Amino acid sequence: MDMHERVRAGMLEATRLVGAGSLVEATALIQRALRGMPMPDATVAADPTANVSKNPPIEGVFRVMDDTFTSAKSPAQELLSRFRLQMPPHWQGDSDPAVRPSPVRDETPDVAPGGRFLSGSYSNHAGSRTYKLYIPSGYHGQTLPLVVMLHGCKQNPDDFAIGTRMNILAEEHQCFVVYPAQAQSANGSNCWNWFKTTDQQRDRGEPSIIAGITRQIISTYPIDKQRVYVAGLSAGGAMAATMGMTYPDLYAAVGVHSGLPHAVAHDLPSALAAMHGGAVPSQSQYNGIPGAGQCRQAVPTIVFHGDRDTKVHPSNGDKVTAQWTTTHIHGGANTKTEASPRVTVQRGQVPGGHAYTRATHLDGDGKTIVEQWRIHGAGHAWSGGSPRGSYTDPRGPDATREMMRFFYEHPAREGGTVC
Protein backbone atom coordinates (compact mmCIF):
# COMPACT_ATOMS: atom_id res chain seq x y z
CA MET A 1 0.00 0.00 0.00
CA ASP A 2 1.56 3.33 -1.10
CA MET A 3 1.59 6.53 0.97
CA HIS A 4 -1.54 7.99 -0.61
CA GLU A 5 -3.52 4.80 -0.03
CA ARG A 6 -2.33 4.58 3.60
CA VAL A 7 -3.36 8.18 4.24
CA ARG A 8 -6.75 7.67 2.62
CA ALA A 9 -7.35 4.49 4.64
CA GLY A 10 -6.38 6.33 7.80
CA MET A 11 -8.71 9.24 7.07
CA LEU A 12 -11.60 6.88 6.35
CA GLU A 13 -10.92 5.22 9.69
CA ALA A 14 -10.90 8.67 11.35
CA THR A 15 -14.26 9.38 9.75
CA ARG A 16 -15.64 6.15 11.19
CA LEU A 17 -14.22 6.88 14.65
CA VAL A 18 -15.87 10.30 14.79
CA GLY A 19 -19.18 8.79 13.70
CA ALA A 20 -18.75 6.27 16.51
CA GLY A 21 -18.09 9.03 19.03
CA SER A 22 -14.35 8.38 19.47
CA LEU A 23 -13.05 11.90 18.86
CA VAL A 24 -9.70 11.42 20.62
CA GLU A 25 -8.67 8.46 18.43
CA ALA A 26 -9.92 10.23 15.29
CA THR A 27 -7.90 13.36 16.12
CA ALA A 28 -4.77 11.29 16.64
CA LEU A 29 -5.21 9.65 13.24
CA ILE A 30 -5.68 13.02 11.52
CA GLN A 31 -2.52 14.37 13.18
CA ARG A 32 -0.55 11.32 12.02
CA ALA A 33 -1.83 11.88 8.47
CA LEU A 34 -0.76 15.54 8.48
CA ARG A 35 2.73 14.58 9.68
CA GLY A 36 3.09 11.89 7.04
CA MET A 37 3.42 9.18 9.67
CA PRO A 38 2.39 5.57 8.89
CA MET A 39 -1.27 4.85 9.39
CA PRO A 40 -2.32 2.05 11.75
CA ASP A 41 -4.45 -0.72 10.36
CA ALA A 42 -8.10 0.31 10.21
CA THR A 43 -10.70 -2.14 11.39
CA VAL A 44 -14.23 -1.28 10.38
CA ALA A 45 -16.76 -2.11 13.06
CA ALA A 46 -19.87 -4.04 12.13
CA ASP A 47 -21.96 -1.36 13.87
CA PRO A 48 -20.95 2.12 12.63
CA THR A 49 -22.42 3.78 15.70
CA ALA A 50 -20.87 1.53 18.33
CA ASN A 51 -18.35 3.12 20.71
CA VAL A 52 -14.83 1.77 20.26
CA SER A 53 -13.25 3.39 23.31
CA LYS A 54 -14.03 4.38 26.85
CA ASN A 55 -14.25 8.03 25.88
CA PRO A 56 -17.72 9.55 26.19
CA PRO A 57 -19.46 9.74 22.78
CA ILE A 58 -19.54 13.11 21.03
CA GLU A 59 -22.18 13.72 18.39
CA GLY A 60 -20.16 14.94 15.41
CA VAL A 61 -21.23 14.97 11.80
CA PHE A 62 -19.35 15.55 8.57
CA ARG A 63 -20.20 18.08 5.92
CA VAL A 64 -18.72 18.09 2.42
CA MET A 65 -16.82 21.37 2.15
CA ASP A 66 -14.90 21.08 -1.13
CA ASP A 67 -15.23 18.57 -3.94
CA THR A 68 -12.51 20.12 -6.11
CA PHE A 69 -9.13 18.39 -6.07
CA THR A 70 -6.16 20.78 -5.77
CA SER A 71 -2.86 19.21 -6.78
CA ALA A 72 -0.90 21.57 -4.51
CA LYS A 73 -2.34 19.88 -1.44
CA SER A 74 -0.91 16.76 0.13
CA PRO A 75 -3.19 13.69 0.19
CA ALA A 76 -3.88 14.24 3.88
CA GLN A 77 -4.64 17.94 3.41
CA GLU A 78 -6.87 17.14 0.46
CA LEU A 79 -8.93 14.71 2.51
CA LEU A 80 -9.11 17.16 5.38
CA SER A 81 -10.40 19.85 3.02
CA ARG A 82 -13.19 17.56 1.93
CA PHE A 83 -14.35 16.62 5.40
CA ARG A 84 -14.58 19.11 8.24
CA LEU A 85 -15.92 18.15 11.64
CA GLN A 86 -18.88 20.28 12.66
CA MET A 87 -19.64 20.01 16.34
CA PRO A 88 -23.11 20.67 17.70
CA PRO A 89 -23.57 24.28 18.88
CA HIS A 90 -23.45 23.37 22.56
CA TRP A 91 -19.85 22.22 22.02
CA GLN A 92 -19.01 25.48 20.27
CA GLY A 93 -20.11 27.62 23.20
CA ASP A 94 -23.39 28.72 21.60
CA SER A 95 -25.46 30.41 24.29
CA ASP A 96 -28.83 29.94 22.57
CA PRO A 97 -30.84 27.44 24.65
CA ALA A 98 -32.91 26.65 21.56
CA VAL A 99 -29.99 24.84 19.95
CA ARG A 100 -28.20 23.22 22.88
CA PRO A 101 -29.24 20.57 25.40
CA SER A 102 -30.19 21.83 28.83
CA PRO A 103 -28.54 20.12 31.81
CA VAL A 104 -30.71 17.73 33.74
CA ARG A 105 -30.71 19.30 37.18
CA ASP A 106 -33.36 17.03 38.63
CA GLU A 107 -33.52 13.43 37.42
CA THR A 108 -36.79 12.68 39.21
CA PRO A 109 -39.60 12.26 36.66
CA ASP A 110 -42.92 13.98 37.19
CA VAL A 111 -45.19 11.60 39.07
CA ALA A 112 -48.47 12.84 40.53
CA PRO A 113 -49.61 11.64 43.97
CA GLY A 114 -51.17 8.26 43.28
CA GLY A 115 -49.45 7.95 39.89
CA ARG A 116 -46.92 5.20 39.26
CA PHE A 117 -43.79 5.07 37.07
CA LEU A 118 -42.93 1.40 36.70
CA SER A 119 -40.01 -0.43 35.09
CA GLY A 120 -40.51 -3.32 32.69
CA SER A 121 -38.80 -5.27 29.93
CA TYR A 122 -39.65 -7.08 26.73
CA SER A 123 -37.82 -9.68 24.63
CA ASN A 124 -38.38 -11.28 21.24
CA HIS A 125 -36.33 -12.75 18.38
CA ALA A 126 -34.77 -9.32 17.69
CA GLY A 127 -33.53 -8.69 21.22
CA SER A 128 -34.52 -7.20 24.58
CA ARG A 129 -35.32 -3.68 25.73
CA THR A 130 -36.37 -2.19 29.04
CA TYR A 131 -39.03 0.50 29.38
CA LYS A 132 -40.74 2.77 31.88
CA LEU A 133 -44.55 2.89 32.10
CA TYR A 134 -46.50 5.78 33.58
CA ILE A 135 -49.89 4.91 35.07
CA PRO A 136 -51.92 8.03 35.95
CA SER A 137 -53.36 8.51 39.40
CA GLY A 138 -56.89 8.46 37.99
CA TYR A 139 -56.58 4.92 36.69
CA HIS A 140 -58.94 2.56 38.53
CA GLY A 141 -59.34 -0.25 36.02
CA GLN A 142 -61.09 1.72 33.26
CA THR A 143 -60.06 1.63 29.60
CA LEU A 144 -57.54 4.36 28.76
CA PRO A 145 -55.45 5.44 25.73
CA LEU A 146 -51.72 4.67 25.41
CA VAL A 147 -48.93 6.93 24.14
CA VAL A 148 -45.55 5.40 23.18
CA MET A 149 -42.65 7.88 23.56
CA LEU A 150 -39.31 7.27 21.81
CA HIS A 151 -36.39 9.27 23.22
CA GLY A 152 -33.56 10.83 21.22
CA CYS A 153 -29.83 10.11 21.25
CA LYS A 154 -28.09 10.32 24.65
CA GLN A 155 -31.46 10.33 26.38
CA ASN A 156 -33.31 7.76 28.47
CA PRO A 157 -36.93 7.30 29.57
CA ASP A 158 -36.58 9.34 32.78
CA ASP A 159 -34.89 12.26 31.03
CA PHE A 160 -37.42 12.18 28.17
CA ALA A 161 -40.35 12.10 30.57
CA ILE A 162 -38.92 15.11 32.42
CA GLY A 163 -38.17 17.12 29.30
CA THR A 164 -41.47 16.52 27.48
CA ARG A 165 -43.68 16.72 30.59
CA MET A 166 -45.70 13.92 29.04
CA ASN A 167 -46.52 12.40 32.44
CA ILE A 168 -48.13 15.70 33.47
CA LEU A 169 -50.29 15.64 30.32
CA ALA A 170 -51.10 11.99 31.01
CA GLU A 171 -52.59 13.11 34.33
CA GLU A 172 -54.66 15.80 32.61
CA HIS A 173 -55.92 13.55 29.83
CA GLN A 174 -55.88 10.24 31.71
CA CYS A 175 -53.77 7.93 29.61
CA PHE A 176 -50.89 5.49 29.95
CA VAL A 177 -47.45 6.49 28.65
CA VAL A 178 -44.69 3.97 27.88
CA TYR A 179 -41.08 5.00 27.25
CA PRO A 180 -39.02 2.24 25.56
CA ALA A 181 -35.29 2.52 26.30
CA GLN A 182 -32.65 1.98 23.64
CA ALA A 183 -29.84 -0.28 24.86
CA GLN A 184 -26.30 1.07 24.74
CA SER A 185 -25.21 -2.32 23.44
CA ALA A 186 -27.38 -1.67 20.37
CA ASN A 187 -26.14 1.89 19.85
CA GLY A 188 -23.32 3.54 21.77
CA SER A 189 -25.15 6.89 21.89
CA ASN A 190 -28.50 5.33 22.81
CA CYS A 191 -29.93 6.31 19.40
CA TRP A 192 -32.68 4.23 17.85
CA ASN A 193 -31.18 2.71 14.69
CA TRP A 194 -33.64 4.35 12.29
CA PHE A 195 -31.03 4.36 9.49
CA LYS A 196 -30.50 0.59 9.32
CA THR A 197 -32.55 -1.40 6.80
CA THR A 198 -33.09 -4.21 9.29
CA ASP A 199 -34.56 -1.68 11.73
CA GLN A 200 -37.01 -0.21 9.22
CA GLN A 201 -39.25 -3.20 8.69
CA ARG A 202 -42.38 -4.63 10.20
CA ASP A 203 -41.80 -7.64 12.44
CA ARG A 204 -38.02 -7.22 12.28
CA GLY A 205 -35.37 -5.46 14.35
CA GLU A 206 -36.21 -2.58 16.64
CA PRO A 207 -39.68 -1.91 15.17
CA SER A 208 -40.70 -5.42 16.23
CA ILE A 209 -39.41 -4.75 19.77
CA ILE A 210 -41.22 -1.40 20.08
CA ALA A 211 -44.41 -2.94 18.70
CA GLY A 212 -43.93 -5.84 21.11
CA ILE A 213 -43.65 -3.47 24.08
CA THR A 214 -46.81 -1.72 22.89
CA ARG A 215 -48.71 -4.99 22.62
CA GLN A 216 -47.41 -6.15 26.00
CA ILE A 217 -48.93 -3.06 27.65
CA ILE A 218 -52.18 -3.57 25.71
CA SER A 219 -52.39 -7.19 26.87
CA THR A 220 -51.62 -6.29 30.49
CA TYR A 221 -53.89 -3.26 30.98
CA PRO A 222 -57.31 -2.25 29.62
CA ILE A 223 -56.02 -0.08 26.76
CA ASP A 224 -58.35 1.50 24.20
CA LYS A 225 -56.98 -0.09 21.02
CA GLN A 226 -58.42 2.69 18.87
CA ARG A 227 -56.37 5.26 20.80
CA VAL A 228 -52.79 3.98 20.76
CA TYR A 229 -50.24 6.56 19.57
CA VAL A 230 -46.48 6.86 19.03
CA ALA A 231 -44.19 9.91 19.11
CA GLY A 232 -40.48 10.64 19.31
CA LEU A 233 -37.67 13.19 19.15
CA SER A 234 -34.76 13.21 16.67
CA ALA A 235 -33.70 9.57 16.19
CA GLY A 236 -36.82 8.68 18.17
CA GLY A 237 -38.86 10.88 15.82
CA ALA A 238 -37.44 9.05 12.80
CA MET A 239 -38.27 5.73 14.47
CA ALA A 240 -41.78 6.98 15.29
CA ALA A 241 -42.25 7.68 11.56
CA THR A 242 -41.12 4.12 10.83
CA MET A 243 -43.52 2.71 13.44
CA GLY A 244 -46.43 4.63 11.94
CA MET A 245 -45.56 3.52 8.41
CA THR A 246 -45.03 -0.15 9.25
CA TYR A 247 -47.69 -0.61 11.95
CA PRO A 248 -50.73 1.50 10.91
CA ASP A 249 -52.89 -1.28 12.37
CA LEU A 250 -51.37 -0.68 15.82
CA TYR A 251 -51.01 3.12 16.02
CA ALA A 252 -53.85 5.54 15.35
CA ALA A 253 -51.64 8.64 14.90
CA VAL A 254 -47.97 9.63 14.99
CA GLY A 255 -45.92 12.55 16.34
CA VAL A 256 -42.53 13.32 14.73
CA HIS A 257 -40.41 15.99 16.44
CA SER A 258 -37.12 17.02 14.78
CA GLY A 259 -37.05 13.68 12.97
CA LEU A 260 -36.66 12.31 9.46
CA PRO A 261 -38.83 10.41 6.97
CA HIS A 262 -39.15 6.65 7.07
CA ALA A 263 -36.42 4.61 5.31
CA VAL A 264 -34.45 7.55 3.86
CA ALA A 265 -31.11 6.02 4.84
CA HIS A 266 -29.57 2.54 4.92
CA ASP A 267 -26.27 3.17 6.70
CA LEU A 268 -24.36 5.86 8.62
CA PRO A 269 -23.13 7.88 5.59
CA SER A 270 -26.60 8.06 4.06
CA ALA A 271 -28.00 8.94 7.49
CA LEU A 272 -25.57 11.85 7.83
CA ALA A 273 -26.48 13.03 4.33
CA ALA A 274 -30.19 12.94 5.14
CA MET A 275 -29.65 14.70 8.48
CA HIS A 276 -27.94 17.56 6.66
CA GLY A 277 -30.69 18.02 4.12
CA GLY A 278 -29.38 15.72 1.42
CA ALA A 279 -31.58 14.36 -1.33
CA VAL A 280 -34.36 12.01 -0.31
CA PRO A 281 -35.62 9.45 -2.86
CA SER A 282 -38.70 10.77 -4.62
CA GLN A 283 -42.01 9.17 -3.75
CA SER A 284 -43.87 10.78 -6.62
CA GLN A 285 -44.25 7.32 -8.10
CA TYR A 286 -45.86 5.32 -5.32
CA ASN A 287 -44.49 1.82 -5.07
CA GLY A 288 -45.51 0.87 -1.56
CA ILE A 289 -44.04 1.60 1.87
CA PRO A 290 -40.57 0.09 2.45
CA GLY A 291 -40.74 -2.61 5.08
CA ALA A 292 -44.50 -2.31 5.62
CA GLY A 293 -45.53 -5.60 4.05
CA GLN A 294 -49.17 -5.48 2.98
CA CYS A 295 -49.98 -2.33 4.96
CA ARG A 296 -50.96 0.60 2.74
CA GLN A 297 -52.70 2.99 5.13
CA ALA A 298 -51.09 6.21 6.35
CA VAL A 299 -52.33 7.38 9.74
CA PRO A 300 -52.66 11.08 10.74
CA THR A 301 -49.34 12.65 11.71
CA ILE A 302 -48.25 15.81 13.54
CA VAL A 303 -44.78 17.16 12.74
CA PHE A 304 -42.64 19.65 14.68
CA HIS A 305 -39.29 21.06 13.55
CA GLY A 306 -37.26 24.14 14.47
CA ASP A 307 -36.06 26.20 11.50
CA ARG A 308 -32.67 26.72 13.20
CA ASP A 309 -32.00 23.04 13.75
CA THR A 310 -28.33 22.39 12.95
CA LYS A 311 -28.37 18.70 13.82
CA VAL A 312 -31.30 17.50 11.68
CA HIS A 313 -31.83 19.94 8.82
CA PRO A 314 -35.22 21.73 8.96
CA SER A 315 -36.03 20.51 5.44
CA ASN A 316 -36.63 17.10 6.99
CA GLY A 317 -39.86 18.41 8.50
CA ASP A 318 -41.07 19.20 4.99
CA LYS A 319 -39.90 15.80 3.77
CA VAL A 320 -41.74 13.96 6.54
CA THR A 321 -44.88 15.88 5.61
CA ALA A 322 -44.42 15.13 1.90
CA GLN A 323 -43.87 11.43 2.56
CA TRP A 324 -47.01 11.09 4.67
CA THR A 325 -49.26 13.08 2.33
CA THR A 326 -48.00 11.11 -0.69
CA THR A 327 -48.49 7.81 1.10
CA HIS A 328 -51.99 8.82 2.16
CA ILE A 329 -52.97 9.90 -1.35
CA HIS A 330 -51.79 6.68 -2.98
CA GLY A 331 -52.38 4.25 -0.15
CA GLY A 332 -55.66 5.39 1.34
CA ALA A 333 -58.87 3.45 0.84
CA ASN A 334 -60.94 6.57 0.10
CA THR A 335 -60.81 7.50 -3.58
CA LYS A 336 -61.46 11.15 -2.69
CA THR A 337 -57.90 11.31 -1.36
CA GLU A 338 -56.46 10.84 -4.84
CA ALA A 339 -56.38 14.62 -5.32
CA SER A 340 -53.65 16.78 -3.81
CA PRO A 341 -54.44 17.73 -0.21
CA ARG A 342 -55.85 21.14 0.65
CA VAL A 343 -53.58 23.15 2.95
CA THR A 344 -54.59 25.78 5.49
CA VAL A 345 -51.93 27.94 7.16
CA GLN A 346 -52.02 29.65 10.55
CA ARG A 347 -49.28 31.83 12.02
CA GLY A 348 -48.84 32.64 15.67
CA GLN A 349 -46.49 33.81 18.39
CA VAL A 350 -45.90 32.42 21.86
CA PRO A 351 -45.86 35.36 24.30
CA GLY A 352 -42.20 35.94 25.09
CA GLY A 353 -41.26 32.93 22.95
CA HIS A 354 -41.05 31.66 19.41
CA ALA A 355 -43.20 32.48 16.42
CA TYR A 356 -44.52 29.51 14.48
CA THR A 357 -46.29 28.51 11.28
CA ARG A 358 -48.85 25.73 11.45
CA ALA A 359 -49.88 24.10 8.15
CA THR A 360 -52.77 21.61 8.14
CA HIS A 361 -53.04 19.23 5.17
CA LEU A 362 -56.60 18.00 4.56
CA ASP A 363 -57.88 15.18 2.37
CA GLY A 364 -60.91 15.28 0.08
CA ASP A 365 -63.25 14.73 3.03
CA GLY A 366 -61.72 17.60 4.98
CA LYS A 367 -59.95 15.24 7.40
CA THR A 368 -56.42 16.01 8.57
CA ILE A 369 -53.61 14.03 6.96
CA VAL A 370 -50.68 15.96 8.44
CA GLU A 371 -50.36 18.93 10.78
CA GLN A 372 -46.93 20.54 10.40
CA TRP A 373 -45.45 23.06 12.84
CA ARG A 374 -42.41 25.16 11.89
CA ILE A 375 -40.95 26.75 15.00
CA HIS A 376 -39.15 29.94 13.98
CA GLY A 377 -35.84 30.48 15.76
CA ALA A 378 -35.84 27.05 17.44
CA GLY A 379 -33.04 24.52 17.21
CA HIS A 380 -32.79 20.79 17.85
CA ALA A 381 -34.95 20.68 20.94
CA TRP A 382 -38.40 19.61 22.15
CA SER A 383 -40.59 22.67 21.71
CA GLY A 384 -42.11 23.93 24.97
CA GLY A 385 -40.26 21.32 27.01
CA SER A 386 -39.04 21.60 30.57
CA PRO A 387 -35.53 23.02 31.17
CA ARG A 388 -35.07 20.15 33.65
CA GLY A 389 -34.68 17.78 30.69
CA SER A 390 -32.12 17.61 27.89
CA TYR A 391 -32.71 18.92 24.36
CA THR A 392 -35.65 21.13 25.28
CA ASP A 393 -36.67 24.68 24.41
CA PRO A 394 -39.10 26.15 26.99
CA ARG A 395 -39.98 29.04 24.68
CA GLY A 396 -42.66 26.94 23.03
CA PRO A 397 -45.09 26.35 21.50
CA ASP A 398 -45.91 23.35 23.68
CA ALA A 399 -45.36 20.32 21.43
CA THR A 400 -46.51 17.87 24.12
CA ARG A 401 -49.86 19.60 24.60
CA GLU A 402 -50.41 19.97 20.85
CA MET A 403 -49.50 16.35 20.21
CA MET A 404 -51.89 15.16 22.88
CA ARG A 405 -54.65 17.36 21.45
CA PHE A 406 -53.94 15.98 17.96
CA PHE A 407 -53.89 12.39 19.19
CA TYR A 408 -57.23 12.68 20.96
CA GLU A 409 -58.74 14.20 17.80
CA HIS A 410 -57.66 11.15 15.81
CA PRO A 411 -58.73 7.77 17.12
CA ALA A 412 -58.31 4.86 14.73
CA ARG A 413 -61.06 4.62 12.12
CA GLU A 414 -63.86 2.18 12.80
CA GLY A 415 -62.77 -1.34 11.92
CA GLY A 416 -59.13 -0.25 11.92
CA THR A 417 -56.41 -1.17 9.44
CA VAL A 418 -55.76 -4.81 8.68
CA CYS A 419 -52.22 -5.85 7.77
Give the pLDDT of residue 79.
Answer: 33
pLDDT in tens, the chain (419 residues): 555 565 566 666 655 554 554 444 555 555 565 555 554 543 333 333 333 333 333 333 333 322 322 334 343 333 333 333 332 333 222 333 344 444 445 678 899 999 999 999 999 999 999 999 999 999 999 999 999 999 999 999 999 999 999 999 999 999 999 999 999 999 999 999 999 999 999 999 999 999 999 999 999 999 999 999 999 999 999 999 999 999 999 999 999 999 999 999 999 999 999 999 876 554 433 345 665 556 667 899 999 999 999 999 999 999 999 998 888 766 543 334 456 789 999 999 999 999 999 999 998 888 899 999 999 999 999 999 999 999 999 999 999 999 999 999 999 977 656 66
Q: Whose CA is closest to 210, among 188, 189, 235?
A: 235
Give the pLDDT of residue 297.
Answer: 72
DSSP 341-388: PEEEEEEEE-TTS-EEEEEEEE-TTS-EEEEEEEEET--SSEET--TT
* Integer Rg of the chain from CA: 22
CATH of domain 116-409: 3.40.50.1820
Q: How far is 152 from 150, CA to CA, in rounded Å? A: 7
With b for 16 or more beta-carbon neighbours within 10 A and e for fewer, the 28-46 pattern comes to ebbebbeeeeebeebeeee
C-alpha distance from residue 229 to each of 94, 218, 299, 301 (Å): 35, 12, 10, 10
Give the pLDDT of residue 290.
Answer: 61
Give the pLDDT of residue 92.
Answer: 26
Give the pLDDT of residue 413.
Answer: 76
Q: Taking a C-beta distance cutoff of 8 angstroms, is the pair 239, 160 a contact?
A: no
Q: How far is 286 from 249, CA to CA, in rounded Å? A: 20
In sequence order, the β-bridge partners of residue 85 are: 62
3-state SS assignment for residue 204: coil
Q: How far is 62 from 19, CA to CA, in rounded Å? A: 8
In 5-152, DSSP assigns E strands to 61-64, 83-86, 116-124, 127-135, 144-150
Q: Whose CA is closest to 330, among 278, 258, 282, 264?
A: 282
Handedness of CA 85, 88, 94, 96 (dihedral sign): positive
Q: How far is 321 from 315, CA to CA, in rounded Å? A: 10
Residues whose CB is less than 8 angstroms from the CB of residue 404 and which lie 6 or more positions away in sequence, other chains included: 147, 169, 172, 173
Give the pLDDT of residue 279.
Answer: 61
pTM: 0.74
Give the pLDDT of residue 78.
Answer: 37
What residue ranges do the domains of the chain occupy? 3-87, 116-409
In sequence order, the β-bridge partners of residue 226 are: none
Cis peptide before 397 (omega within 30 of 0): yes
